[in-house]
Amino acid sequence: MSLEKLKLSKRLTATMTELGYLAPKEIQSRCISRILGGQDVIAIAPEGAGKTTTYVLSTLMKLKFTTDEAPKFLILAPNEERIDEIVDKFFQLSKNKSLRIIGLRAGGSMEEEIEELVDGKDIVVATPNRARAIYLKLALNLNRIQTLIIDDADEIIKQGMQNPVRELAESCGKVQHLVYSTVEHQKLYDMIGNFMNENQALVEIEDLENETVDTLDLLLYQVPNFTTKINLLNHLLQDKEVFQKVVVFVNSKLTAQKLASSLFSNSKEEIAILNPLFYDDFGFEDIEDFEENNHSRVLIIARENTSNVDLSAIPFIFEFELPNEKEEFLNHLVKNETNADTVVLTFTTDLELPMVRKIEQAVGKKMELLDLPDNLLIYNPNTDKKKKVNQEIQDDPSRGGAFHQKKESNAKTFNYGGGEKAKMTMKQKKK
């Protein structure tokens, strides 16, 4: 598909060609015509898929020359770095140094920003908190907004800025809404559900790498919260015939200590920590000692201040927490002759799904999503605040239910099979 198919202006088409864009990306070919037609759009796509370029081109196409001081486009972004990237992209594609655009940065002078707004701007790029603060000072006029754009919605949610987004959207009234995110989950719809127009379009792009990396078996459990992760790990580790040697990754040494105290154990040595934070915690200084200890079954490793660890003799790796950088996850995923039977089980909440997508994009394939066990105890913070998780598991392990309602077509039953190396095979029963 050529750029001409996007029906951009000749000036924008020429600029895109000069910048090396010879053909539109999938998200551009599927979204721009909808945006120019006035439709609300929710676009789900990984990093690098072209989300920013898509709405910048659409905005420049819709932007008309005016001397009106009130802005016509409001773009909400999670941080100052993204604001600078968005403003730079507008100048790069428009080639108009006089473009009436402003970035409202949380660290800048609010008085100077208000003065610039009074002079007249067409496009405002801001964090939700900054935009709301200036709006409450009656300095951000939202009465003429035509399009509200929410960039990196998943990161905005992660930072807890849903309420300012809702308040600004309600203040804009009936406008076009464009929402961009790397993942789709319930928290996203909780934020935007009340203001999106009924004719909204959902566009999903799975832009995986062309080359697939030969990795270990990657399995994924999606859970609602941290406490349910603990419940799930306890539930799985009850099968001692299968899970004879397990490594569990967390991000910090403090989390490692807390997790070790939350796991059910029949002996002090069963749950160990690599280089424990406190003297009283049982642990090892190197993984070889863990492998040789017949009483130790689970080793918790904190990524904090921990260099590469040789996991070739470990049959199960639990990614209890996802790191901030995907490279920390990827460095022990490549399959070789010594670790070919190793299984990696990842636990993720909605807020961690963006990192899952980055990892999937990097290795060129999706993780296999598993159904949660039917008798897993799902922690509900609204009703279970005062309950002790470990005590609940010991007293009544059958309580609780699956996190989500399983579709009949997706219902799976898996069996654990053990061997001399205690590897796990997961097979779907034939009906």
CATH number of the structural domain spanning residue 394 = 3.40.50.300
Res 119: pLDDT: 87
Give domain status of residue 58, yes or no.
yes
**Domain boundary, last residue among 179, 204, 229:** 204
Can you count the helices (H) and strands (E) in the chain? 15, 15
The answer, yes or no, to whether residue 388 has pLDDT greater than 60, is: no
**Residue 419 maps to a domain:** no
Domain end (from 204, 239, 269): 204
Question: Are 52 and 163 found together in one domain?
Answer: yes
Q: ∠ CA(147), CA(149), CA(152), 5° rounding?
A: 175
How many other CB atoms are found less than 10 A from the CB of residue 310?
13
On whether both 377 and 281 belong to a single domain, the answer is yes
Report residue 415's pLDDT band, with 50, 70 and 90 as the boundaries. Answer: very low
Distance CA 314, CA 111 (A): 58
**Position 422 in a domain:** no
Contact between 133 and 114 (Cβ < 8 Å) = no
Tell me the two tokens of residue 409: 């077509």
Which pLDDT value is given to residue 406? Answer: 37
Q: What is the pLDDT of residue 426?
A: 45
pLDDT confidence of residue 308: 78
- Domains of the chain: total: 2
* Residue 141 and residue 24 share a domain: yes
Say whether both 195 and 267 belong to one domain: no
Q: Is 236 left (phi over 0), alpha (psi -120 to 50) or beta?
A: alpha
Question: How many CA atoms does the CB half-sphere of 338 hold within 13 Å?
Answer: 6
Query: Are both 222 and 81 inside the same structural domain?
Result: no
Please report the DSSP string for 106-174 in residue order.
TTS-HHHHHHHHHH--SEEEE-HHHHHHHHHTT-S--TT--EEEE-SHHHHHHTT-HHHHHHHHHHH-S
Q: Are residues 100 and 138 in the same domain?
A: yes
Q: What is the pLDDT of residue 208?
A: 63
Quote the pTM value: 0.74
Q: List the domain range (segments joined by +) for residue 346.
A: 217-410
Task: Indicate whether 169 and 231 sit together in one domain.
Answer: no
**pLDDT over threshold 50, residue 380:** yes
Percent helix, strand, coil in the chain, to 5, is 35, 15, 50
Confidence band of 196 (pLDDT split at 50, 70, 90): very high
Residue 209: band (very low, low, confident or very high) from pLDDT cuts 50, 70, 90: low
Instruction: State whether 183 and 237 are in the same domain.
Output: no
Same domain (yes/no): 237, 181 = no
Final residue in a domain of this structure, among 204, 226, 247: 204
Q: Residue 278 — pLDDT band, cuts 50, 70, 90?
A: confident
pLDDT digits (tens, 9 = 90+) for 350-372: 999 989 988 888 888 889 999 99
Q: Give the lowest-confidence range in 34-48, 88-102, 382-396.
A: 382-396
Q: Is there a domain that residue 281 lies in?
A: yes
Q: How confident is the model at residue 1 (pLDDT cuts 50, 70, 90)?
A: low
Does residue 391 form part of some domain?
A: yes
State how far the alpha carbon of 74 is from the alpha carbons of 140, 320, 341, in Å. 10, 38, 51
424 domain-assigned: no
Whether residues 200 and 99 fall in one domain: yes
Q: Give 321-359 pLDDT, tens digit per residue.
A: 999 888 888 887 888 777 778 999 999 999 999 899 888
Residue at 428 is within a domain? no
Mean pLDDT score of the chain: 85
